Amino acid sequence: MFTQIHIPQRNLTLKQPIGLFINNEFVKSENEEKIETINPSTGEVITSFYSGSFADVDRAVKAASDAYENVWKHTSPAERSLLLMKLADLIERDKCTLAALETLDSGKPYHSNAMLDLEQIIYLTRYFAGATDKFTTGETIPISEEKFCYTLMAPYGVVGQIVPWNYPLAMASWKIQGCLATGNTIVLKPAENTSLSVLYLAQLFVEAGFPPGVLNIIPGNGAVVGNALGKHPGIEKISFTGSTSVGLGILKASAESNMKDVTLECGGKSPAVIFEDANLEQAIEWTAKGIFFNSGQNCTANSRIYVHYSNYDKFLELFTKHIKEKWGFGKNFDPFDEDCTIGPVISKKQFDKISEFLKGEMPHPETPYKLSYTCKVHKVLDDPPESNKGFFIPPTIFTSVPYDSPWNTEEIFGPAVTVTPFETYDEVIKLANNTSYGLASAIFTENIRTANKFINDIQAGTVWVNSSNDPEMSVPFGGYKMSGIGRELGKSGVETYCQTKAVHMSLAQPGS
């Protein structure tokens, strides 16, 4: 259930798991079907791995259920903490290998992106290791001399988890480590086009000493494995990160099966608002990072920038200059190159979708033969040469954008941003909230009153003040509106995997 992968840029040859991970072993899928995984920087096949079926999900759920009932729910918080601490040490030991796999499989720039993800994962794992006995203590509720009540924070049992392709290891770690800290067991589905690093990580759970069946990983197509997880009656909770359309399907599957608890993070169209008194240099640096980091493939990407009209022309000039100086493909379009800060997008499908937006023209969805949207397109860097087979898209700025056009309302999920002038606070807060999403937002101002008003008025789960896309593992994360349900990370990243049990303790004397 292994193959060899060679990464010449890192002088690295590794033994890569390609099987489903069930009961601490890598096994073939029941139908022995496989999925090819593509290097997005070259368009070439890396390898293929086994793709799960409904029957494989059932096998994994049984393994997770047996592990929960017989072993895992009987472990103490201290025991789970020690295992997570060992895991963190192993991830730190192998971080260069894991980052290299992320770069190979997803196209993330190795030095400026994948390695940062690994540092975050190491910190997060130690954070949750320390949380096992701190966020699940319940509370006592005195009632009278003859009765008192208390609550327990109890695990669900078997939890299904589905992670996206833009942060394969990071999103898996957000979910896995917090879930295991509370005493649940897991069946996880990685994205079908970025499964390699998560499968490699599974070996470290075995080495750390996690019992068989506590973590199970079933790669495969979303319509098969994801659907099976959503509908399986043996799964008590599901946590999903991905597109809004699939998130709606997860909700439906829960309702049609056993009403399993659901946590969803479903994307965003996050605004960044730059007021007249903002530090422009600071705003430019943060908003560029906020849209171009990870090639714009971030749910929290500040893909809409609103600039006070007095700074608009200057902002566009300096923003473009900053991108040319700081953001580029590096030598030979190689994400392992130290100068590479923008890698390819994940796939040909995503490349084609984004390319449609870059044309700057689009029919109105309701009246395609009567009205079309248009905007101005500013490609900051040149297109890659035709000989390049990777999925590279240059940083792109859209101006003169109609407020209700797809560029302002749809999640492009690439290195493309709209820049729009505004005059008044009331105008811009209306524009910022004019979306079905509400995941994140950013404001740049030196006026604390303006900042505080914005914090209260913006419909978003995260507000960055004078920064953007600057997450902390100890701070809750989640969205408003169609960006999702529930929160992850921080204390919430533990509590989301617990359910509250109320205990009523009678002390009354018999017959009284």
CB-CB contact of 473 with 120 (8 Å): yes
Q: How far is residue 201's CA from residue 248's CA, in Å, rounded to a whole number?
A: 29
pLDDT band, very low/low/confident/very high, at 195 (cuts 50, 70, 90): very high
Q: Tell me the CATH number for domain 271-473.
A: 3.40.309.10
**Which of the residues 265, 411, 488, 495 is marked catalytic?**
265
Tokens coding 415: 């290195």
pLDDT value for 511: 72
Average pLDDT over residues 31-44: 97
Q: What is the pLDDT of residues 151-173, one digit of tens each?
A: 999 999 999 999 999 999 999 99
- Fold of the domain built from segment(s) 53-266+486-500: Aldehyde Dehydrogenase; Chain A, domain 1 (3.40.605)
Residue type at 301 in one-letter notation: A
Going by C-alpha positions, the residue among 223, 263, 262, 271 that lies closest to residue 246 is 223
Q: What is the pLDDT of residues 122-131, one digit of tens each?
A: 999 999 999 9
Decide: helix, strand or coil at residue 194.
Answer: coil
Q: How far is residue 162's CA from residue 176's CA, in Å, rounded to a whole number?
A: 10
Average pLDDT over residues 56-85: 98
pLDDT value for 361: 87
3-state helix, strand, coil in the chain (%, to 5): 40, 25, 40
Residue type at 211 in one-letter notation: P
Going by C-alpha positions, the residue among 97, 107, 102 that lies closest to residue 117 is 102
pLDDT value for 386: 84
Q: What is the pLDDT of residues 232-254, one digit of tens each?
A: 999 999 999 999 999 999 999 99
Query: Which pTM does this prediction carry?
Result: 0.95
pLDDT at 370 over 80: no
pLDDT at 422 over 90: yes
pLDDT band, very low/low/confident/very high, at 416 (cuts 50, 70, 90): very high
pLDDT at 411 over 80: yes
pLDDT value for 368: 54
CB-CB contact of 303 with 290 (8 Å): no
Percent of the chain with pLDDT over 70: 98
pLDDT value for 367: 59
pLDDT value for 366: 66
Q: What is the pLDDT of residues 345-356, one digit of tens each?
A: 999 999 999 999
pLDDT value for 135: 85
pLDDT band, very low/low/confident/very high, at 383 (cuts 50, 70, 90): confident
Tokens coding 140: 């006592």
CB-CB contact of 328 with 381 (8 Å): yes
pLDDT at 369 over 60: no
Average pLDDT over residues 180-191: 98
pLDDT band, very low/low/confident/very high, at 371 (cuts 50, 70, 90): low
Residues in a beta bridge with 153: 500
The residue ranges of every structural domain in the chain are 53-266+486-500, 271-473
Decide: helix, strand or coil at residue 34.
Answer: strand
Active site annotation includes 25: no
Question: For the chain, how far is it from start to end, CA to CA, in angstroms?
Answer: 67
The phi and psi torsions of 501 (rounded to 5 degrees) equal -115, 125
3-state secondary structure string, 438-476?
ECEEEEECCCHHHHHHHHHHCCCCEEEECCCCCCCCCCC
Tokens coding 290: 């906020």
Strand pairing class (304-308; 416-422): parallel
Angstrom CA distances, 208 to 83, 109, 211, stand at 6, 29, 9
CB-CB contact of 136 with 121 (8 Å): no
